[in-house]
Structure formats: structure tokens, C-alpha cells
């Protein structure tokens, strides 16, 4: 009966180990399938979308720099770069739309795409306005340069005519009044030329610094020039000089129109810059949201792989612990009866085992099979028969009764 219990314990122990291994293997296979599916999704879905969003963000930042550089420098190189980047942004949004339609699980992407496309459409419109504004600015700069040049040329012609007239008056010994009037005209036209040069410098300084305040200062010079022209016209009688004054006045008006036009263009470009910044911020915010959602999904997949690793390691540790416990239990189950039998044999040989102890030992079941039968026969046998049996096996030995009498006397159960 005890052997059956030991066998059952062995089977139960190894069965638990096998069961845990099977469960662990099943969990591992399931988790590996999940990891394979997630890895496939990452490879086919999330990685391409993440790359598209990354390229979209990069192109958006580069587009911001290109269009702002174009508005500042009016260099056509930046214009071509800005247009190319807008085409790239359209391409990336189209690719993202294809993935969004192919994989409906990109909820945030599909939700953000319409707004992104609307902002890109707005950016294209602002780009066209920027190009028109810069072209107008270039036109106004050219007109300003032409008008200012004509103003200075006509003013110099007037100044030269006044010098010639003064020389004639010197030769004719004209009166002091004539000299004083001529000197006043020369001073006034010289001031007009100086103001024209100052306005030209301020205009180009404002253009290079993109500072409307400097441009407003240049615009404030126009009334001064107009006032000097009015004063000159009052004291001028020669038709040629009047035509020169009128030409200067027309050039001044063209110069004024150029400055006012440039100021209006810069004001509009500043508004476009603000609108472009707002559109880019919305686009980048939407793209960042999609990128964060893709990153979160990738992190979830990575965390799932880590969990699978922890399950495998924990399962292996559990299997090792249970295997060690089962081994210790089986070793103890096998060695304990053997140890008892060895101690029993040593006790019998020494003659220190009483009948009561032997009965308890037999009742405990530690002695089984032939050993149990021999002990029972030994207890119930007649000492004389035992003596005859021993004498038959050992003819030259002394009498069994004499030899084992002390031990057999206390083995009797009667």
C-alpha cells in the first residue's frame, strides 16, 4: 500500500511538472503568435505611417524656413524650395490617406487628415499671396529706384541751370537781390537732392531690415520735398525751370507711391506670416498627435514582448523550483524506508529490539514483502524449530537456543 502511495506521489509530482511545462509552452506559443502579429503590424502599418509623419513634420519645418526666407530676401531660390516642399507635404498627406483608408485602426490619423489637408490648402494659398506680395515688393523697389533717380536727375538739371544763371549774373554785375534769390533757389534744390538721397537710403535700409518703422521715416520726407518744391515754384519764372520742377514733383509722387505700396505689401506679408505660422502650428500639432499615437502603439507592442519574456522566465524558474521539490520528495520517499530497514537490521543484529517495538514496526508498514513475512515467522516460530533449522544450516555451530536465547526470549509475543 505504501509503495502505491509513493508511486502516486511520484506520478503526481512529475505530472505537475509536465503540466506546468505544457501550460508554459501554451502561453509562450500564444504570446509568440501575438508578438508575430504585432511585429507584422508594426512592420506593415505603424512603421510606414511613422516614417510618413516624420517626413511630413520635417518638410513642414523646412517649408516654414523656405517661405520666410523668401519673404525676407526675395531670393527665387527659396521660392522654388518652398514650392517643392509644399508638393512633398501634399505627397506625404496622400500617402497617409492611403494608409488610413487601408487600415481603419488609425482612428486619430483618419480623424486628423481632413484638417491637415485644409491647413495645407491654406498654406498653398498663402504661398501664392507671398509670391505675389514679393513680386509687388520687387516692382515697388524698382519703381522707387527709378523715381528717386529721376527726381535727383531733374533736381540736378535745375541746380545746373541755377549755377549757369548765377555765373551770368556775376558777369553782368547783377544786384544783391538777384544773387540772394539765386542762392536761395540753389539751397532749396540742394536740400531736395539731399532729402531724395536720404529717402533712398532709408528705403533700402528698411527693405534689408524688414523694418516698417524705417520705411515710415522715409515716407515722412515726402512732405518736406513737396514744401521745398512749392517754394521753388513760386520764385521760378523760366519755362524750362518750371518743367524741371514739375518733373521733380512727378518723380516725388512716384517715389511716394512706391514707398506706400511697399509699406502696404509688408503689412500684408506680416499678416501672411502670422496666418502661415498659425496654419503650420495646427499642422504640426495634428502630425505630432498622430506620431504620439503611433509611438504609444509601438510601446504597447514592446511592452507585450517584455511581458512575454517575464512569463517565460518566471515559468522556467517555477518549473525548476517544482522539479527540485519533487526530486527532494522522491529521494526522501525512497531513502527513508531503506534507512529504517538498515537501522532495523542493525538493531536486530545487536539484539536491542523488543517484541513491542517489532510489533509497532510491523504495524507501521515500513517492512513489506519478504522482510515482513520473515519477521512474523521469527516471532511465531518455536525456539526449538529455529534451533534445528540453524543447526542444520550450521552443523559445527553451537546450539541456536544457547546462542540466541537471550534475544529470542524477549521476541516472543505470548
Q: Which pLDDT tens digit goes with each residue over 37-83?
A: 777 777 777 778 888 888 888 888 888 889 988 988 888 999 999 99
Q: What is the pLDDT of residue 226?
A: 92
C-alpha cell at position 10: 511520484
**Residues 123, 6 share a domain:** yes
83-112 residues labelled b (16+ CB within 10 A) or e (exposed): bebbebbbebbebbbebbeebeebeebbeb
Q: Which of 115-119, 138-142, 193-197 has the lowest mean pLDDT?
A: 115-119
Q: Has residue 33 been placed in a domain?
A: yes
The domain tally of the chain equals 3
The radius of gyration of the chain from alpha carbons, rounded to an integer in Å, stands at 56
**Residues 176, 86 share a domain:** no
**Residues 292, 231 share a domain:** no
Q: Has residue 342 been placed in a domain?
A: no
381 in the Ramachandran plot: left (φ > 0), alpha (ψ -120 to 50) or beta? beta
| Count of Cβ atoms closer than 10 Å to residue 5 Cβ | 11
Q: What is the pLDDT of residue 71?
A: 86
**Residues 199, 80 share a domain:** no
Nearest to 307 by CA among 20, 38, 22: 38
Q: Has residue 26 been placed in a domain?
A: yes
Mean pLDDT on 13-21: 73
Q: Has residue 333 been placed in a domain?
A: no
**If 0-12 CB within 10 Å is exposed, 13-18 middle and 19+ buried, where does residue 258 land?**
buried
- How many Å apart are CA 359 and CA 380, to the nearest integer? 12
**Residues 113, 6 share a domain:** yes
- How many Å apart are CA 185 and CA 177, to the nearest integer? 12
Compute CA distances 147 → 140, 152, 160, 201, whole Å. 10, 9, 20, 14
Q: Has residue 340 been placed in a domain?
A: no
**Residues 65, 30 share a domain:** yes
**Residues 242, 299 share a domain:** no
**Residues 149, 83 share a domain:** no
Q: Has residue 57 been placed in a domain?
A: yes
For residues 29 and 202, the model is more confident at 202
- How many Å apart are CA 119 and CA 276, to the nearest integer? 9
Q: Has residue 334 been placed in a domain?
A: no
Quote the domain boundaries for residue 209: 136-265
C-alpha cell at position 190: 540742394
Across the chain, what does the average pLDDT equal?
A: 78
| Count of Cβ atoms closer than 10 Å to residue 19 Cβ | 11
Q: Which pLDDT tens digit goes with each residue over 239-279?
A: 888 898 899 999 999 999 999 999 999 889 889 988 998 88
pLDDT of 223 > 90? The answer is yes
- Tell whether the torsion through CA atoms of 373, 376, 378 and 384 is positive or negative: negative
Q: Has residue 339 been placed in a domain?
A: no
- How many Å apart are CA 107 and CA 93, to the nearest integer? 15
**Residues 8, 117 share a domain:** yes
**Residues 145, 119 share a domain:** no
pLDDT of 411 > 60? The answer is no
State the CATH number of the domain containing residue 141. 1.20.120.230
Q: Are 134 and 93 in contact (CB under 8 A)?
A: no
C-alpha cell at position 89: 507635404
State the CATH number of the domain containing residue 105. 1.20.120
Nearest to 115 by CA among 274, 289, 273: 289
Q: Are 153 and 250 in contact (CB under 8 A)?
A: no
Q: What is the pLDDT of residue 390?
A: 46
Compute CA distances 297 → 38, 39, 139, whole Å. 10, 11, 53
**Residues 378, 362 share a domain:** yes
**Residues 10, 107 share a domain:** yes
Q: Which pLDDT tens digit goes with each residue over 276-319?
A: 988 888 888 888 888 787 777 777 777 776 776 777 777 778 77
Residues in the chain: 414
Amino acid at each position: 500500500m505504501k509503495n502505491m502511495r509513493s508511486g502516486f506521489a511520484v506520478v503526481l509530482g512529475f505530472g505537475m511538472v509536465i503540466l506546468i511545462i505544457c501550460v508554459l509552452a501554451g502561453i509562450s506559443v500564444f504570446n509568440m503568435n501575438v508578438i508575430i502579429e504585432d511585429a507584422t503590424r508594426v512592420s506593415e502599418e505603424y512603421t510606414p505611417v511613422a516614417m510618413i509623419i516624420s517626413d511630413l513634420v520635417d518638410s513642414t519645418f523646412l517649408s516654414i524656413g523656405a517661405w520666410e526666407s523668401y519673404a525676407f530676401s526675395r531670393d527665387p531660390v527659396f521660392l522654388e524650395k518652398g514650392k517643392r516642399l509644399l508638393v512633398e507635404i501634399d505627397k506625404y498627406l496622400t500617402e497617409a490617406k492611403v494608409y488610413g483608408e487601408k487600415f481603419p485602426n488609425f482612428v486619430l490619423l483618419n480623424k486628423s487628415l481632413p484638417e491637415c489637408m485644409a491647413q495645407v490648402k491654406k498654406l498653398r494659398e498663402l504661398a501664392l499671396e507671398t509670391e505675389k506680395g514679393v513680386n509687388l515688393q520687387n516692382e515697388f523697389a524698382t519703381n522707387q529706384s527709378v523715381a528717386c533717380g529721376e527726381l535727383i536727375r531733374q533736381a540736378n538739371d535745375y541746380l545746373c541751370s541755377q549755377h549757369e544763371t548765377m555765373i551770368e549774373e556775376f558777369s553782368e554785375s547783377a544786384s544783391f537781390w538777384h544773387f540772394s534769390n539765386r542762392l536761395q533757389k540753389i539751397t532749396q534744390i540742394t536740400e531736395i537732392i539731399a532729402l531724395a538721397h536720404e529717402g533712398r537710403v532709408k528705403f533700402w535700409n528698411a527693405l534689408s531690415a524688414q523694418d516698417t518703422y524705417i520705411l515710415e521715416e522715409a515716407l515722412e520726407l515726402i512732405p518736406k520735398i513737396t514744401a521745398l518744391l512749392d517754394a521753388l515754384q513760386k520764385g521760378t519764372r523760366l519755362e524750362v525751370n518750371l518743367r524741371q520742377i514739375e518733373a521733380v514733383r512727378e518723380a516725388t509722387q512716384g517715389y511716394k507711391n512706391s514707398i506706400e505700396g511697399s509699406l502696404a505689401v509688408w503689412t500684408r506679408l506680416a499678416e501672411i506670416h502670422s496666418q502661415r505660422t498659425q496654419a503650420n502650428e495646427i499642422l504640426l500639432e495634428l502630425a505630432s498627435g498622430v506620431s504620439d499615437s503611433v509611438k504609444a502603439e509601438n510601446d504597447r507592442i514592446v511592452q507585450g514582448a517584455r511581458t512575454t519574456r517575464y512569463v517565460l522566465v518566471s515559468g522556467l524558474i517555477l518549473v525548476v523550483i517544482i522539479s527540485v521539490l519533487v526530486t527532494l520528495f522522491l529521494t526522501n520517499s525512497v531513502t527513508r524506508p531503506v534507512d529504517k530497514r538498515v537501522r532495523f537490521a542493525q538493531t536486530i543484529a545487536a539484539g536491542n529490539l523488543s517484541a513491542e517495538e517489532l510489533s509497532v514496526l510491523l504495524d507501521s508498514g515500513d517492512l513489506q514483502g519478504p522482510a515482513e513475512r520473515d519477521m512474523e515467522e521469527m516471532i511465531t516460530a518455536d525456539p526449538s524449530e529455529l534451533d534445528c533449522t540453524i543447526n542444520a544450516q550450521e552443523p559445527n555451530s553451537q546450539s541456536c537456543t544457547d546462542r540466541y536465547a537471550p534475544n529470542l526470549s524477549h521476541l516472543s509475543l505470548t
